[in-house]
Amino acid sequence: MDINKIREDFPILSEQVYNRPLVYFDNAATTQKPWPVIHCLEEGYRRHNANVHRGIHFLSQTATEAHEAARARVRDFLHAASAEEIVFTRGTTESVNLVAFSFGETFCREGDEIVVTVMEHHSNIVPWQMLCERRKMHLKVVPMNDRGELLLEEYEKLLTPRTRLVAVAHVSNVLGTVNPVGEMIAAAHRRGIPVFVDGAQAVPHLKVDVQALDADFYAFSAHKVYGPTGLGVLYGKKRWLEQMQPYQGGGEMIDQVRFEKTTYNALPYKFEAGTPDFIGTTALAAALDFVETLGMDCIAEYESQLLHYTEERLSALPGLKIYGQAAHKSAVVSFRMGDIHPYDTGLLLDKLGVAVRTGHHCAQPLMERLGIDSCVRASLSFYNTREETDILCAALERIRKMF
Amino acid sequence: MMSINEVQEDIVASFAELEDWMDKYQLLIDMGNDLKPLDEQYKKPQYLIEGCQSRVWLYARYEKESGLVFYEAESDTVIVKGLVCLLLKVLSGRTPDEILNADLFFIERIGLKEHLSPTRSNGLLSMIKQIRSYAQVFKLQA
């Protein structure tokens, strides 16, 4: 991959902060947008804007076709069996909430259990906790080892006849661990238990095939895969989605509305109340085109090399401790440097032009397991370079001497 | 004793000499490192101001004879400790009225206003509110 050429596609990467070139290492929070995505948004509003699925006029037809073509593009990207299984949401968080509500209302009873893991993002914990409170159910937590790998034997022990669903992150947003979701799904399926996979941190970095994984649900956010913000995807197997109650009521999701009884629309519209972000969906399709043109395998290969280089350079710094040493890891390095508080490290890195995230990363139970209250996270993308890693390390050296 | 505004002008002057961001922060870090640690008995939940990223403990005491309020505080991050140190320099050992009427211009003037933004969540904004509410309470006791 010609990284310098690729970087030219991302206008923001040539910005300066505090008179220094921007080094953007906060890709797990959100990714930057390439020109094709920006152009697509602009073109959408300039030339194709009309509400979808209802207008008989030309523009509405064009907009509807583009929106549905985007759904087909997502289906293809995830290798789902049909476009009916692709539901557009506002983001991964809404996707989790949708399943926690609709699956929960339909299939869960008092005394049932939901299994999550200790490394989940709050978004893949709290909706399940809320379901457990509503239905008087129990939340079970899969533990991990000190390297940040889930304990699969413990996981299997947690699967009982009362387990209604397993919710697991494909990739941890803090540790970078790539969880063996295929194996975990197979183990759950042997007991007839469906699995929800939070793919927010996986989709930008590795090839995902929901049929090969045999995932029952798979969610991701457009903005983390170089697409627009405020848009997400929920993949769900047709047989689950068909049985599940709707999530929100409103326009688009209905078949016939009468005050006596309303009937609901077919999949996937049953789960898409209100006007969708039809311009966003076409821009997401442009983002998926962009990454697939680069090639998900090439992206994974390049990022893996950059990750190794970054980890090697960082661990050579005195007092620096990396959190997350899983054998199979994605492009995230979380760390603390000696006694220096991550807030101080992050703040000074920012002044040196390096954008990282600090704090608990919306994973407080994981922080507790690691015995820390916060850490610094550098999250990489294919547009990052070794030179940027060198800038990060030089900045950390300088910061260390300030305390 | 210098007035609140004189202390603020003093702080502004010492930061004005420093042009580079890193030098300003070096000064803050040095101040933070020099801040007298808060007595362990006050590092308790009732004195804690929880931020999203950092924590501040604040203890206040009213001296009836002199009518002055004294604050002691600490944070788990050195930079916030430096900012805490500056705030105490300005506001500790003042009457409740002085504290309540103080216009804290120095933070903006030294270019550290971003630390007071609600999204920064370092507990500093809450600390200032807390300093004021202590002053309010002591004013009623006076």
**Boundaries of every domain in chain A:** 3-30+296-401, 38-292
From A352, which residue of chain B is nearest by alpha-carbon distance? Answer: B22
C-beta atoms of A18 and B26 within 8 A: no
Q: What is the pLDDT of residue B119?
A: 62
Give catalytic residues of A, as residue numbers.
362
Nearest of A168, A150, A351 to residue B22 by alpha carbon: A351
Cβ-Cβ contacts under 8 Å between A and B: the total is 39
Minimum distance, in Å, between the CA of residue A339 and any CA atom of chain B:
10
The 10s digit of each residue's pLDDT in A205-232 is 999 999 999 999 999 999 999 999 999 9
Contacts of A312 (CB under 8 A, 6+ apart): none
CA dihedral of residues A309, A315, A321, A326 (deg, nearest 10): 40
pTM of the predicted model as reported, rounded to 2 decimal places: 0.94
The pLDDT value recorded for residue B41 is 93
Which residues does chain A have with pLDDT short of 70? none
CB contact A345 to B (< 8 Å): no
Count: domains in chain B:
1
β-pair type (A138-142, A113-117): parallel
- Token couple for A288: 């998926």
For residue A31, give Cα distances in angstroms to A203, A371, A379: 12, 29, 10
- Report the CATH architecture of A38-292: 3-Layer(aba) Sandwich (3.40)
Please report how many Cα atoms fall inside a 13 Å half-sphere around the Cα of residue A111, on the Cβ side: 2
A343-354 residues labelled b (16+ CB within 10 A) or e (exposed) = bbbbbbbbbbbb
Contact B53 A358 (CB under 8 A): yes
| pLDDT score at A119 | 98
> From the candidates B21, B27, B74, which should be mutated to test the interface with A, based on the most A CB atoms within 10 A?
B21
ipTM more than 0.85? yes
Q: What is the pLDDT of residue A229?
A: 98
Asked if A347 lies within 8 A of B21 by C-beta distance, the reply is no
CB contact under 8 A, B122 and A398: no
B53 touches chain A (CB under 8 A): yes
Please tell me which of the candidates A340, A343, A352 has its beta carbon nearest to residue B53: A343
B22 touches chain A (CB under 8 A): yes
Tokens of A128: 């399940």
Which residues of chain B are under the pLDDT cut of 70? Answer: 52, 116-122
User: Is A3-30+296-401 a CATH 1.20.1440.230 domain?
Assistant: no
Tokens of A187: 């183990």
Any idea what the CATH number is for the domain that residue B62 is in?
Answer: 3.90.1010.10
Domain with B52 in it: 4-141
